[in-house]
A and B are shown apart, each in its own frame.
Chain A
């Protein structure tokens, strides 16, 4: 197998005093952009093996699969790498009865995990909306400084950013700058 190159491989931001902030690269996952008529949501849920959330901003998790509803007809799906082909096959089978678009975007994105008591503070450096008010378990597409990202709030103090790989360095650089302020408590 060919070696895979990650833009941020091996990098970590860790503010160790009292662990207010850890930023690390997320493990690889299969990712798909699913576009389908919301009327067909049940069929799509069955194909993916998880009940797709119907409301924009909601996420659903089942085992290691996750779906985020990003638009009225748009879902961001993640699944274990080992299930990549099974997911593709299930949707290929679905196509005859429910037309849709399933596009592999697994390599398009880089996942970044932001965790710690100051995670919100770090994100506030470049995110314009009210992150404090973001419900746990929700996700959205937004802008981080100048980069488009998908942001997930996985827990009170844990977030995940999905960003196109060529924008990952920029996002990382900003998190580093914000991390420096947290480290200096300034």
Chain B
């Protein structure tokens, strides 16, 4: 294959050749190449098919704005990525890439029939074409659209890569390391400000990399760039981040930077993250994003080989690649002439420079003449030819009156176009900064800033090198000064600079039927000029509506190359000035960003905190099956060999009822409440009375919200007159503490009481069963465990197994029960000691499922399972827990509202299925009459449902409208295929007289 590489040109490293594959063919490139430059060096222009019409497409640009050259890349198993821009992707040895949107092959694609059927696919075709027959939608249209839609193929395997993130703070963040950004970073850095300079490209320099004739301070552009980078490297306060895209500019100068760490490496180090998201809080921001060249809009402007003139210049000067052997240039801006001159000077035969403008600066014409380039000024382009690559351009003269003359064909293998340059105002727009319309330049420029930011260089409409450097330097100093430093700006002397001017266009004039022209505005979404005009004819006037109807600017490139052309055409069609038609909103991210970069470290084990108790390790070693409970993982049950969950739970339940079970209750929330007003505080927070609770005694407490609904519950023990040990639900711990602090700080700051979370200070081992006391007695010191001294609902401090303990006598099973609190680090050893000592008593560790069954047999509720935020204490059969004589407590007033007193409120009841072997499904709906017409009236639902080993049948708790008054009635639970019957009972199924608590 012929090489299009020009010896001696470019910044690629010729000592480091790389091999890569595209569509299965192997090619050579060099380190420093992008996939686009390497393909062009091999003469490959055809790289993909377009989204809608499947038209052959090539490489339009040389930067991140690329709409066409999207490829799939594969870096090994699980590392396939679609829609990577070939103009950004750096080649490395072994890179494998494929083109997209075609079948069976890139060169012969069946979907290209869409191109011939383009009349069907005009603006709004979704809304028009698939309207009838209606029956076709589900079976024909929808599957067809699904199959055809989507850009590239989604990865099918989990992403094996890791991603990183980092917070950073600086005085001045400079986005863009072109001349303006470099000047800003240098000035701010010299003054001593903490500077971060980022650039999306692999190397800094911006536009300097693409030209060779610039001169700064007596140095060539590239020499000056080296000097500038060397100086920045010596500044400890300056950080330079390449391959780092500023993806979004958020409130209060918070900017997201996505840094590509390893994508360019052939063999990334083991364990290295792929990308890092920098979250930067900058005191001042300098935006030096540069500008993006505008394509010209003419029939056939999307043919492979038609590309932006500035891109051709980049490929030549930066990568040493000529984009063709006989390129032609079509332009309305001087800058394209420089591309033609650079190519001609590199020995490339330039077929012609076609300029839309009748008048062009003399020095350009003279230089063209000297280089032997034919100039056609005042001409238009009306078409191109060539199946998979441009072969010729059809050009016509345009008279002063706008009459398009006879066509002439210019043979060419590349057509370089320029419609001028659009300042990149994307990040500025993210801040909701106001854009001002510049009539002379036909462009939007940054106006008033909404954040502490500055725009400089081409991104601010200052296109010249001298202007960019001066503006950048001034902004660097200004930003540093605003960040609290003192200084003034340096001055740069620029040589060899000629002013470049141009005019803006709509679609170019043509002698052919404009309504048949495929003159593309948005290459990625296949939107043509006539689509936009059609949208306007059909009544769309606002650019936001035109955008959605035609989909222009809605592709992954967010219309970087198309928005301004689309606006110019829309503005002409609507016959209103461009600023009145408006510009669509730019939104983050600036360029497509991986999900991984956003997730950062939070994947796999670090996806979310997994809290483990001090006893978790023992449970793991003893075969526990876990379930997640809020952030905790808790032992669910402990299956013995051969046991399923049902058998394990039945065995565990039996052990607790007959002898002794042990349970890790460490996750329960704990709050230590201390102070002379501790009892008064609890009295106001909880529904129950607390003032008279004796030292050494416990009470079950119910906590409501201001609305009167149950929020939490738990057992609270009084350790001293001024010190309480409060327990909360596992999931409610943080919420309850926050709620208490809120009331204490805002409602009752006069109360002398303080709250401290002690959830993790204590490991908690629940010992439940008739033999619990027998196990504890020899191991406990300093606490009299006799029935008289330590009855049910007692608490005492002492020692167990030689370590301090807060011992509670309480039960969540209905059996005699104790909860052993020990300092967390002793939890496991005490657990093991109790487990060992309990062997002769048949001690059985049990998990949360058994705990649930045992408490349900006793009708003890679980907040959040049996309550749903709409149950009052009375609804939940906890009316007894309300201190009727108390003047107030949180939620008391709401409980007296008429709605709260209605007879037909949903109330917690027990359910016994008529078939004792049927276990109801939790969440199942309950109806009174199963023979009603649909939809049936639902009167409640099942909240808890289990097989009860103690009763030898199923049991359930449910909320039912007016349920308590219906005790004994039969209700029905419609399920798929059958309807189950159950009778309403009280909530206590086992030992209703509580005899076993002290048995």
- Interfacial residues, chain A to chain B (CB-CB below 8 A): 1-7, 28, 33, 35, 73, 95, 99-109, 121, 124-130, 132-133, 145-147, 164-167, 169-170, 173-174, 177-178, 180-181, 184, 186
Given contacts A103-B758, A165-B824, 16 further A-B contacts (CB under 8 A): A2-B803, A7-B612, A100-B675, A101-B675, A101-B756, A105-B761, A106-B761, A107-B762, A108-B759, A132-B169, A133-B169, A166-B609, A169-B612, A173-B605, A177-B162, A177-B273
Q: How far is the CA of A173 from the CA of B607 in the complex (A)?
A: 11
Which residue on chain B has the smallest CB distance to residue A132? B169
CA distance A129 to B279 in the complex (A): 11
* B761 contacts A107, C-beta separation under 8 Å: yes
Chain B residues contacting A7 (CB-CB under 8 Å) are: 612
B968 CB to nearest A CB, Å: 47
Q: Quick one: given A2-B803, A130-B281, A173-B605, are A166 and B761 in contact (CB under 8 Å)?
A: no
Residues of B820-848 at the interface with A, using a CB-CB cut-off of 8 Å, are: 823-830, 833
A33 and B756 contacting across the interface, CB-CB below 8 Å? yes
Which B residues are in CB contact (< 8 Å) with A130? Answer: 169, 281
Closest Cβ–Cβ distance, residue A30 to chain B (whole Å): 11
Contact of B823 among A106, A128, A177 (CB under 8 A): A106
Interface range on chain B (Cβ under 8 Å from partner): 35 or more
Q: Flag whether B79 is at the interface (Cβ < 8 A).
A: no
Which residue of chain A is the closest to B614 with respect to CB atoms?
A5
Q: Are A186 and B609 in contact (CB under 8 A)?
A: no
Q: Is B261 an interface residue (CB 8 A)?
A: yes
Q: Are A165 and B760 in contact (CB under 8 A)?
A: yes
Q: A143–B610 Cα gap in the complex (Å)?
A: 16
Question: Do the beta carbons of A105 and B758 come within 8 Å of each other?
Answer: yes
Q: Please indicate the chain A residues that have their CB under 8 angstroms from the CB of B609 in the complex.
A: 146-147, 166-167, 170
CB B108 to nearest CB in A, in angstroms, measures: 43
In the assembled complex, the Cα of A166 lies from the Cα of B609 at a distance in Å of: 9
A101 touches B754 (CB 8 A): yes
The answer to whether A181 and B164 touch (CB under 8 A), given A100-B754, A165-B824, is yes
Asked if B601 CB lies within 8 Å of chain A CBs, one says yes
Residues of B close to A121: CB separation below 8 A: 166
4 smallest beta-carbon distances between A and B, as pairs: A101-B754, A166-B611, A101-B674, A35-B754
- The listed residue (B610, B675, B756) touching A170 by CB distance below 8 A is B610
Q: A145-B601, A167-B611 are in contact. Are A125 and B826 (CB under 8 A)?
A: no
- Cβ distance B964 to chain A, nearest Cβ, rounded Å: 40
A selection of 15 A-B contacts at a CB cut-off of 8 Å is A2-B802, A2-B833, A101-B753, A101-B754, A105-B756, A106-B761, A129-B167, A130-B169, A133-B169, A145-B606, A165-B760, A167-B609, A177-B601, A178-B164, A180-B272
Distance to closest chain A CB from B39 (angstroms): 29
**In the complex, which residues of chain A have a beta carbon less than 8 angstroms from the beta carbon of B165?**
125-126
Tell me if A184 and B825 are in contact (CB < 8 A). Answer: no
Decide if the interface of chain A is mainly helix, strand, loop or mixed: mixed
B613 within 8 A of A: yes
Q: Name the residue on A nearest B801 (C-beta).
A: A2
Shortest CB distance B197–A (Å)? 17
Task: Kindly list chain B residues whose C-beta atoms are within 8 Å of the C-beta of A167.
Answer: 609, 611
Cβ contacts under 8 Å, B756 to chain A: 33, 35, 101, 103, 105
Interface string of B794-809 (1 = CB under 8 A from A): 0000000111000000
- Residue contact A181 to B272, C-beta cutoff 8 Å: yes
Point out the residues of chain A lying under 8 angstroms from B829, CB to CB.
Answer: 2-5
Bound: A146/B824 CA distance, A: 22
Kindly list chain B residues whose C-beta atoms are within 8 Å of the C-beta of A107.
Answer: 760-762, 823-826
B263 at interface by CB-CB < 8 Å? no
**How far apart are the CA atoms of A103 and B757 in the complex, in Å?**
9
**With A101-B672, A108-B761, A125-B164 in contact, do A170 and B802 touch (Cβ < 8 Å)?**
no
Residues of chain B in range 774-808 having any CB-CB distance to chain A below 8 Å: 801-803
Q: Which of A99, A124, A147, A184 contacts B167 (CB 8 A)?
A: A124
B641 at the interface (CB under 8 A from A): no
Distance between B311 CB and nearest chain A CB, rounded to angstroms: 31
Beta-carbon nearest neighbor of B608 in chain A? A146
Which residues of chain A are near B592, meaning CB under 8 Å? none
Cα–Cα distance between A128 and B676 once the two chains are bound (Å): 39
Contact residues of B between 589 and 625, Cβ < 8 Å to A = 601-602, 605-606, 608-614, 617
Question: B700-717 toward A: CB 8 Å interface, digit per residue (1/0)?
Answer: 000000000000000000
Q: How far, in Å, is A52 (CB) from chain B's closest CB?
A: 16
User: Of all chain A residues, which has the CB nearest B829?
Assistant: A2
Q: Which residues of A contact B691 (CB under 8 A)?
A: none
Identify the closest chain A residue to B254 (Cβ): A128
Q: Is A125 touching B166 in the complex (CB atoms < 8 A)?
A: yes
Cα distance A66–B165 in the bound complex, in angstroms? 33
Listed residue (B276, B801, B823) with the most chain A CB atoms within 10 angstroms of its CB: B823
Q: Restricting to B716-762, which residues have a CB under 8 Å from any CB of A?
A: 722, 752-754, 756-762
How far, in angstroms, from A145 to B606 measured CA to CA in the complex?
10
Closest-by-CB residue of B relative to A92 is B720
Q: Which of B272, B273, B601, B610 contacts A174 (CB 8 A)?
A: B601
Residue in B closest to A130 when the chains form the complex, CB atoms? B169
Q: Quick one: which of B225-262 are within 8 Å of A by CB?
A: 261-262
A132 to B261, CA, bound (A): 24
Contact of B273 among A3, A124, A169, A186 (CB under 8 A): A186
CA distance A121 to B278 in the complex (A): 12
CB-CB contacts below 8 Å: B155-189 with A: 162, 164-169
Partner of B272, one of A5, A102, A106, A186: A186
Cα distance A125–B164 in the bound complex, in angstroms: 8
- CA separation between A130 and B168, bound complex, in Å? 7
List the A residue with the shortest CB-CB distance to B611: A166
Residues from chain A with a CB closer than 8 A to the CB of B632 are: 166
Judge whether B824 and A169 touch: CB under 8 Å: no
> Is A181 within 8 A of B273, CB to CB?
yes
Q: Are A174 and B606 in contact (CB under 8 A)?
A: yes
Question: Is residue B642 contacting chain A, with contact meaning CB distance below 8 A?
Answer: no
**Which of B194, B262, B601 has the most chain A CB within a 10 Å cutoff?**
B601
Determine which of A99, A103, A125, A184 lies in contact with B601 in the assembled complex, contact meaning CB atoms within 8 Å: A125
Q: Which residues of A contact B271 (CB under 8 A)?
A: 180, 184
Contact indicator A2/B675 (Cβ below 8 Å): no
Q: What is the bound-complex CA distance between A165 and B617, given in angstroms? A: 14
| B760 surroundings in chain A (CB, below 8 A) | 107-109, 164-166
Q: How far is the CA of A13 from the CA of B717 in the complex (A)?
A: 42
A129 partner residues in chain B, CB cutoff 8 A: 167, 169
Q: Are A103 and B672 in contact (CB under 8 A)?
A: yes
**Do the beta carbons of B272 and A184 come within 8 Å of each other?**
yes
CB distance from A27 to the nearest CB of B (A): 13
Chain A residue contacts of B676, Cβ below 8 A? 99
A103 and B762 alpha carbons, distance in the complex (Å)? 12
Which of A1, A127, A169, A184 makes the CB contact (< 8 A) with B269?
Answer: A184
* A81 to B611 Cα, complex, angstroms: 26
The distance in angstroms between the C-alpha atoms of A175 and B167, with both chains bound, is 14
Q: When the two chains form their complex, are residues A1 and B613 in contact, meaning their CB atoms are under 8 A apart? A: no
For the complex, give the distance between the alpha carbons of A99 and B803 in Å: 28
Question: Which has the most chain A C-beta neighbours within 10 Å: B194, B605, B760, B823?
Answer: B760
Do A169 and B610 have beta carbons less than 8 Å apart? yes
- Tell me which of B166, B675, B803, B833 has the highest count of chain A C-beta atoms within 10 A of its own C-beta: B166
Which chain B residues lie closer than 8 Å to A126 at the CB level? Answer: 165, 167, 601
> Contact between B273 and A6 (Cβ–Cβ < 8 Å)?
no
Q: Is the CB of A2 within 8 A of B672?
A: no
Least Cβ–Cβ distance between B758 and chain A, in angstroms: 6
Closest residue on chain B to residue A5 by CB atoms: B828
User: CA separation between A177 and B272, bound complex, in Å?
Assistant: 9
Which residues of B sit under 8 angstroms from A180, Cβ to Cβ?
A: 271-273
With a CB–CB cut-off of 8 A, which chain A residues contact B826?
2, 4-5, 107
Q: What is the bound-complex CA distance between A124 and B281, given in angstroms? A: 12
CB contact list, B125-176 vs A, under 8 A: 162, 164-169
Please measure, in the bound complex, the distance between the C-alpha atom of A106 and the C-alpha atom of B167, giving whole angstroms.
31
**Nearest-CB residue, chain A, relative to B757:** A108
Give complex CA distance A100, B762 in Å. 22
Across the interface, name the chain B residue whose C-beta is closest to A35: B754
B614-A165 in contact (CB<8A): yes
